[in-house]
Amino acid sequence: MTQLPNTAEQSLLTESYLKAARRRSRVILLRQTFSILLRMTLMLWLVATITFIVVRALPGNPVDLYIQDLAASGMSPEEARSKASAVLRYNVEGSFLEQYVQYFRNVLRGDLGVSSILSPNSPVLPMIVSRLPWTILSVGIALTLSFLIGVRLGLIAATRRHTWMDHLISNTWAAIDSVPAVLLAVLSVLLLGVVWKVVPLELMRGAYSPDVMPGFNWAFVKSAALHYIVPGSVYTLTSLGGWVLAMRSNAMSAVSDDYVHVARARGLSEERIRDAYIGKNAILPLVTGFAIALGFTVSGSVLIEKVFVTPGVGQLLADAIARRDYPIMQGIVLITTFAVLIATAVADAMYTWLDPRIRLGDEAS
């Protein structure tokens, strides 16, 4: 007959078990961290390489496009070529391989090069960085709002399926989701600012009023908040539908799961079942999508920035593509990739935290 350990021995065993478990957790954590870092590095290299090749394979070269713009303004070929020559000082030197090696050497030093067309000879990194705060703030806030409201509405629709509430929510957001975002933005400006005159046009142009000084002062914060209302609402509205419908669909599947029946049999309130059981499980697949979308916020929203005249990263990228400014295109893609990779890593961590099954699965393996 096996003798059971006494209390002291039990305590020692527990402690050594816990130590081993902690050691195992640290190893798992280290292994995961190393794996994530390796994956991120490889992905960054891969994306940067593909971008480097693809932007150069796009039809049209920057000099021709610059001349094309000048020609459209009524300049003669001689004048256009002269001006292009004078202002661009554009000359790609070295072989493709040499350029590639040089590019990566510079990237490792944090140097993304200088703009060739949009602002000739201006360093790319400061150009992107100066536009990031507005882009992250504007798109990030709207995205977070649309996610929070969207999952809530989706959950309500799922738990009240086939009622008027479900029909109202799902049909309304399906309809709004099908309206092109740019149309809604343009209509907002025309209707609110020109036809109904309920919002001054100045509040739908730019991130703040021309007469306030950007900085940590009340006038600027107030102006920025007022200027954000319409573009923020448009972005939130146009991105809300996707979250509503996805959450509704996920929650509909969870509603009939066993653990929901068990919870109901245990007499838990409907609110608790909806939020803690159905909601928590239904939201899991959306977390990754939300995190990746957050990562993409650094590349901005061309829609908001273009229609509402807010010079952010999205507009910079659109202009760089249109004018073939290779260094800016490469810089924005690289920074966006980095942000998305970070966001994905955060999503992985959140997923592990939200869903214990994944954590246990890792430990078991």
Binding site for other proteins (CB under 8 A): 53, 56-61, 63-65, 67-68, 71-96, 98-99, 115, 118-122, 126-127, 130-131, 186, 189-190, 193-194, 197, 201, 204-207, 210, 306-307, 309-311, 322, 324
Q: C-beta of 73: minimal distance to other proteins in Å?
A: 5
Q: What single-letter DSSP state applies at residue 297?
A: G
Query: How many whole angstroms separate alpha carbon 345 and alpha carbon 288?
Result: 9
Nearer to other proteins, 65 or 292 (CB): 65
* Two tokens, residue 361: 């699965």
Q: C-beta of 26: minimal distance to other proteins in Å?
A: 47
Nearer to other proteins, 137 or 165 (CB): 137
Q: C-beta of 53: minimal distance to other proteins in Å?
A: 8
Do the Cβ atoms of 244 and 173 come closer than 8 Å?
A: yes
Q: C-beta of 102: minimal distance to other proteins in Å?
A: 12
Q: C-beta of 110: minimal distance to other proteins in Å?
A: 18
* Two tokens, residue 337: 């990739």
114, β-bridge pairs: 123
Nearer to other proteins, 127 or 293 (CB): 127
Do the Cβ atoms of 302 and 349 come closer than 8 Å?
A: no
Query: How many whole angstroms separate alpha carbon 212 and alpha carbon 207?
Result: 11
With tokens 């870092």, the residue in question is 37
Distance, C-alpha 46 to centroid of its chain:
20
Query: How many whole angstroms separate alpha carbon 255 and alpha carbon 257?
Result: 6
Nearer to other proteins, 134 or 173 (CB): 134
Nearer to other proteins, 111 or 257 (CB): 111
Phi, psi of 123, rounded to the nearest 5 degrees: -60, 140
* Two tokens, residue 59: 């039809």
Q: C-beta of 237: minimal distance to other proteins in Å?
A: 19
Report the Cα–Cα distance between both ends of the chain, in Å, rounded.
Answer: 33
Query: How many whole angstroms separate alpha carbon 104 and alpha carbon 121?
Result: 19
Nearer to other proteins, 56 or 161 (CB): 56
The residue type at 213: M
Q: C-beta of 57: minimal distance to other proteins in Å?
A: 5
Query: How many whole angstroms separate alpha carbon 302 and alpha carbon 311?
Result: 9
Nearer to other proteins, 2 or 91 (CB): 91
